[in-house]
Structure 1
C-alpha cells in the first residue's frame, strides 16, 4: 500500500487534504466532451522559454498524441514553437485508440508519439507494461519546473519513478438542475440514493423530465453508486468484495439496471460513451459529472441546462475517485529534450488556464488553482472541497485494470438489455476480475 493524497487549493492556507489508503498500487474513459469547441485563443505572454533550452532542440519536430480535450490552443502552441524552434505535430485521437497505437508501436520498439497524454487508465494500459519512460533524470536536471506547485504527482509515481507530470486533477461528482428539482417541489439535492430515486420518479411522473437521470451505460456509473453507498469494491489483497452476498456493490448494480428498466435513464445512453452531451442537450436533472464541469453545463451557448446546474455532494458516504491526467514521454522517443520542454510549457499557467476555460478541467497547478479561486471561477467551493475529502481510489495501477473495465461495461450492457440479472452481472465481472488477476500475477 501507499497513501494517496489529492491536493486542491482550499482557500488562503492552501491546505493539503490527506486521503485514505489506496487499494494496492494505484492506477477511463475519456469522459470529457470531445465535441466541445476549442477555447478562444488566449493572450500568450512573451516569455523566455528559449533562454535555457539545450541548443540541440531548435529545429526538432516532435509529436504529441492526445484526446480532443488535451489539444492545446493554436495561438499558444504557435507561440511555443516560435520561442523554442520546436515544431509540434498534434495527433488527436480517442483514448482507446491512443492505447492501441502505443501498444502496437511499442511491440516494434517504436514511439507512437514522443509525448503522450496519460489519462487515469493509462497506468494499466501503457505505463505498467513499460511503454512510458521515467522522468526522474529530467526532473532532477531541471531548474525551472516547480514540482511542489503540482498536485498529485504521487499518482504518477511507481516504485520511486515518476512517469507523468500532472496537467489536471479531477473528481467524479454529480450535479443537478436546481430549477427542474424545484418544479418537482424539492429545494435541496438528495442525500441518499433512495431519495434520488424518488425525486427522479416524481420528475418523470410530473412530466418535468422524461429521463431525469443522466448516467452512462458504462462501468463508471456502477463505481459511482457502489462507492458512494460504501462498498470498497476490493480488499487489501485485491479480492472483489463487491461480489459478496448482500454487498453494496450488488445493491448498486441492481439500482443502476432499474434506472434503465424504469425509463429514468434514456436508452440513448447505450449509443454514447459518456452522458455529458445528452445532459447538455437538456435531457436529465441529475448528471454524472466531474469537478470543473459547472462552467460548461452553465454555458448557454452549448448547454440547454444553463444557468441552473449546481454541484451536489454524492449521496450517502459520498465516496468517489479521482481522474487525473498527465503528460509523459514514450519509452522509444529519441527527442527527450524537446519533449521535456513541451511538457513544461503544457503544464504552465497559460495553457492550463486555457484548457480550464474550454473544458472545465481543474488544473494541477496549485498556484493557478489559487488564482482561479481568487477570480471567483471555482464555484460552490463548499461542496467541491467537501467532496474532495471522500476519495477512495480504485486500483488502476494493476496491469489488468484496463481490460477488466471493458468487461464491466460489456456485462453491464448485457444487463441493461435484459440478458443478465444484476446478480449475474456481478458474478460475471467478479469471475472476470479473478481470471485476469491470475493471468497477470505470477
Structure 2
C-alpha cells in the first residue's frame, strides 16, 4: 500500500490515547540510553525530553548518548545492573530475538491492546515483535537511500539518477573520467554493522538470501553477486577507498563537503545535507530509493528501523512507558520529521511533515514497502561479526568474494 493511500484522519493525540492509561508521576528520575549518530540528533532528543519533563513536573530524565556500536553491550550490561541501570533504551531491529530469549526487555503486549496497529508501518512493527509478543514501541522507521549531487550529474551530462546498481557504476565512471570528482561513490563499509546494511541492500537487489532451509546461503547467488559488485567498484576506482573505514557520519561529511557524487545513507542525511550549517551542497541534493538490478528488482532497501523499550531491571515501568509513548506519539514525531520520518502512515500526507522534503517522502513511498530484514535470530551478533570480518577481507583484497563468503558460511553454520 502506498503512503498516500492511507487514511489521514488520525487524531493528533492518537498515540497517547491508544497506548493505554498511564499514571502520572512526580519527583522521579528515569535513565535513558540513545544513539549519538544518524536519525534524531542529540539536540532533538533533548528538546523532546525537555517538553516531556515540562508536562510532568518533578520528573527528570537522565540522557546518555553513545555510538551505535556501543548500544548492544550497554543494554545487555544494564540488565545485570538491575535498578541502577537504564529504564528506557533505544534498540535495533536485529536484536529482539536475543533480547526476548535472554529476558532483557519488558513485554509490553498488553499495553498496546488499545492501539490500531494498522496505522503504523509493518516494517516498524518488525522492530519490536518477536514470537507473538511485543517488546517496545517503534520509533525510527529507516532505510538507506541513494543520495546524489544534482550539479555533478548535470556537469557529466547524466540526465537522470541511476535506477540499477550497474548504472550507478557506469555513471560514476563517467563522472570520474570527466574529472568532476576523484571518487564518485562513498559508502559506510567499516568493519561494523554499517557494512552489513549496505551489503544487505545490494544483496536484496540481486535477489540474495542469508539462509535457505536453515543453511547459510550468502556464499552463492545474489548474495555473492552483491559482494562481487562492492569489490569491483573499489577495483575500478569509482568507490572511495576510505569507505572501508567509514561509518555513516563519515559518508555524510564527505558527501556534504562536495567530495562525492553518490552516497548510500539513512534518512537523516537529507536534512543534514541541505543544512547550510552542515553542508556545502545545499540545494544540490537528490535522493532516490536504492537501485535495483535489471530483470530482478526495481529498487532495494534494508530495514534499519529502531525502537524504544523498557529494560527488565527497571523499577519504573509505568513512567518509562509514559516517556516512550510521548516520544513515539504522532505529534512529536511530526514535529521532528526532518531527520527521521514518522512511523505513522497518516503523517506522509501531512504538508507540515512533507514540506521541504518532498523528494525524500516520494522515495520513502517506494522504499518502506521493500525493506529487507537482516536475519531475526538470537545469534545475530555473532553472525554479523563473522560477515563483517569476511566482507572486509574481500574489500581489502585479502580474499576473493567467493572465498570470503565461503569462509563466512562455514563459520555461520557452527552457530546456527
In the superposition, the TM-score normalised over structure 1's length comes to 0.79
Q: How do residues 350-369 of structure 1 correspond to structure 2 at under 5 angstroms?
A: 350-357=331-338, 360-369=339-348
CA shift, 1:334, in A, is: 0.6
Q: 1:117 aligns with which of 78, 87, 90?
A: 90
Unaligned runs of 5+ in 1: 1-6, 16-46, 438-442
Q: How do residues 39-438 of structure 1 correspond to structure 2 at under 5 angstroms?
A: 54=23, 57-68=25-36, 69-70=39-40, 71=42, 72-84=44-56, 85-107=58-80, 109=82, 112-140=85-113, 147-152=117-122, 154-155=125-126, 156-217=128-189, 218-235=195-212, 237-244=213-220, 247-274=221-248, 275-291=251-267, 293-313=269-289, 314-316=291-293, 317=297, 318-357=299-338, 360-372=339-351, 375-380=354-359, 381-395=361-375, 397-437=376-416
Q: Which runs of 4+ in 1 moved over 6 A?
A: none
Q: 1:130 to 1:229 in 2, by over 3 A?
A: same
Q: How do residues 15-26 of structure 1 correspond to structure 2 at under 5 angstroms?
A: none
Unaligned runs of 5+ in 2: 10-15, 190-194
Q: 1:436 to 1:280 in 2, by over 3 A?
A: farther
1:174 and 1:311 in contact (8 A); partners too: yes
CA distance in 2 between counterparts of 1:319 and 1:266 reads 22
Q: 1:14 to 1:390 in 2, by over 3 A?
A: farther
CA shift, 1:62, in A, is: 0.8
CA shift, 1:240, in A, is: 2.4
In the superposition, the TM-score normalised over structure 2's length comes to 0.84
Deviations 1:234-263 (A, max 9, x none): 33x33222323xx22222212211222332
Deviations 1:318-351 (A, max 9, x none): 2322221211100111101110111111112443
Which residue is equivalent to 1:42?
A: none
Q: 1:281 to 1:127 in 2, by over 3 A?
A: farther
Greater shift, 127-136 or 84-93, is seen at 127-136
1:298 and 1:306 in contact (8 A); partners too: yes
Q: 1:117 to 1:12 in 2, by over 3 A?
A: closer
Which residue is equivalent to 1:31?
A: none
1:214 and 1:288 in contact (8 A); partners too: yes
CA distance in 1 between counterparts of 2:333 and 2:7 reads 22
CA shift, 1:60, in A, is: 1.2
Q: 1:323 to 1:128 in 2, by over 3 A?
A: farther
Greater shift, 215-224 or 326-335, is seen at 215-224
Report the 3-state secondary structure (helix = DSSP H, G, I; strand = E; otherwise coil) of the residue aligned with 1:242.
coil
Greater shift, 370-379 or 114-123, is seen at 370-379
Instruction: Please give the root-mean-square deviation of Cα atoms over the aligned residues, in Å.
Output: 2.7
Which residue is equivalent to 1:28?
A: none
Report the 3-state secondary structure (helix = DSSP H, G, I; strand = E; otherwise coil) of the residue aligned with 2:277.
coil
CA shift, 1:226, in A, is: 1.5
Which residue is equivalent to 2:192?
A: none
Report the 3-state secondary structure (helix = DSSP H, G, I; strand = E; otherwise coil) of the residue aligned with 2:393.
helix
CA distance in 2 between counterparts of 1:216 and 1:76 reads 29
CA shift, 1:229, in A, is: 1.7
CA distance in 1 between counterparts of 2:381 and 2:84 reads 21
Greater shift, 178-187 or 383-392, is seen at 383-392
Higher helix proportion (structure 1 or 2): 2
CA distance in 2 between counterparts of 1:257 and 1:134 reads 42
Q: How many residues align?
A: 387
